[in-house]
Amino acid sequence: MRRALITGITGQDGSYLTEMLLTKGYEIHGIIRRASTFNTDRIDHLYLDPHSPEARMFLHYGDLSDGPGLRRILEEVQPDEVYNLAAQSHVAVSFMQPEYTTDIDGLGTLRLLEAIRDYCGRTGHDLRFYQAGTSEMFGSSPPPQSEATPFHPRSPYAAAKVMAHHLVRNYREAYDLFACNGILFNHESERRGETFVTRKITRAATRIKLGLQDKLYLGNLDSRRDWGHAKDYVEAMWLTLQRDQPDDYVVATGEAYSVREFVERVFARLELDWHEYVEIDPRYFRPVEVEHLRGDARKARHELGWKPKVGIDELVACMVDSDLELARQERILKDAGHSVAYRGIAGD
Ligand code: NAP
Ligand code: G4F
């Protein structure tokens, strides 16, 4: 049974990757952060008591800020594959917390690579490493962006990910580590964090539809993104680690739409006129914007045999339908006289 260690297992991608690897027969070990409230919603449906003979997913407390902890987990788990998905992944938040973001997304990757180098060197074990890099690294480089496009990061988040990208390449060249970078364009899903723009839109529009919310406040509607479904992207991660040689791959659909177009599609599915509900709030503008991301994933297509299955219309449909169901449940509770807390945070 192959064993995978996943940082960021509680995140959107971590949950889909875990589901996929379980169906492939892997034993999964995930690193979770200690929090005062449960933060395992996305993987609760996969959890079995570790005492159960059927259990194949195990969780370990750890943090990318804590090198010794990462070393301990690595020794304990002895994985065949390591997927580094943990990150402070919100671009706008990275302007508010630049040092923390760099510590986790940049130095955190280094801590993990160093732990792996020591572990492999000392024990003679081999493992394969995947780094979840981002199209944000291209920043202001014009589309279409491929593996040959120069990086021009436009946020602390993007700069930290560029650092991680180069460290991965350096460890591959210097220590012969099977270490690969994904350059992942935006990918979304029903499990997307609620403060990323797609989910913010589907959540608000469905709540508006059911009379639970009046307005949706957004920032820049003109930026264009290449949006795919997270399920497709975790498959590309796995395929990357199954190659004979380690390499870096752009993962993208090749199609880009503006935030405005995404809004239009979502409200149209709900038979609402978005102009009546959407307002611009300057607080959601970033100090500097990434205007246009559209990926050229031909290398992944040819070498990994990967192509996305979900296009924009299906993505919008599944996100809207899932949030509409959540809004219906909220409506029922409200109508029954329960006070339902609205979970949203200002500033991002
Ligand atoms: P996400 O939903 O924000 O999940 C991030 C994960 O990282 C969560 O499990 C989070 O734990 C964990 N984490 C955060 N800080 C940590 C720390 N200090 N130590 C350990 N774990 C920590 O992100 P995602 O959308 O799944 O993305 C996965 C990875 O792909 C990220 O590295 C992201 O930067 C990268 N990426 C994503 C996209 C995209 O469009 N989704 C595109 C390009 C690259 P909690 O649950 O406790 O917060
Ligand atoms: O959904 P977003 O916050 O995603 P962004 O900044 O593209 O970053 C995401 O994709 C990256 C890959 O390219 C990942 F690496 C990263 O971890 C993350 O998953 O914003 C998308 C666009 C931006 O141009 C933003 O300015 O939407 C614009 N936007 C407009 N109004 C908004 C809002 N973004 C957010 N989050 N909230 C708004 O109200």
Residue 48 DSSP one-character state: -
What is the pLDDT of the chain when averaged over all its residues?
A: 97
Element (H, E) at 130: strand 128-134
Q: Which of 157, 171, 233, 277 is catalytic?
A: 157
Asked whether the predicted pLDDT for residue 135 surpasses 60, the reply is yes
pLDDT for position 307? 98
Is 157 one of the annotated active-site residues of the chain?
A: yes
Residue 296 CA to ligand 2 centre (angstroms): 20
87 lines ligand 1 (CB under 6 A): yes
* Global confidence as pTM: 0.98
Question: What is the pLDDT at residue 341?
Answer: 72
Q: Does residue 1 surpass a pLDDT of 60?
A: yes
pLDDT for 270 equals 98
The burial of 295, by beta-carbon neighbours within 10 Å (0-12 exposed, 13-18 middle, 19 or more buried), is given as buried
Q: Report whether residue 89 contacts ligand 2, using a CB cutoff of 6 Å.
A: yes
Please report, as a single letter, which amino acid is at residue 173. E
Comparing CA positions, the residue from 17, 23, 21, 16 lying closest to residue 3 is 21
Q: Residue 260: CB partners within 8 Å, gap ≥ 6?
A: 221, 222
Which residue has 């006289």 as its token pair? Answer: 337
User: Shortest CA distance to 340 belongs to which of 328, 348, 217?
Assistant: 328
Residues 48-66, mean pLDDT to the nearest whole number: 97
Residues 160-185 have pLDDT tens digits of 999 999 999 999 999 999 999 999 99
Burial degree of 290 (CB within 10 A; 0-12, 13-18, 19+)? buried
Residues 224-260 have pLDDT tens digits of 999 999 999 999 999 999 999 999 999 999 999 999 9
Query: What is the distance of C-alpha 92 from the center of its chain?
Result: 15
Give 13-45 pLDDT, tens digit per residue: 999 999 999 999 999 999 999 999 999 999 999
Q: Ligand 1 atom closest to Cα of 33?
A: 47
Reply yes or no on whether 134 is catalytic. yes
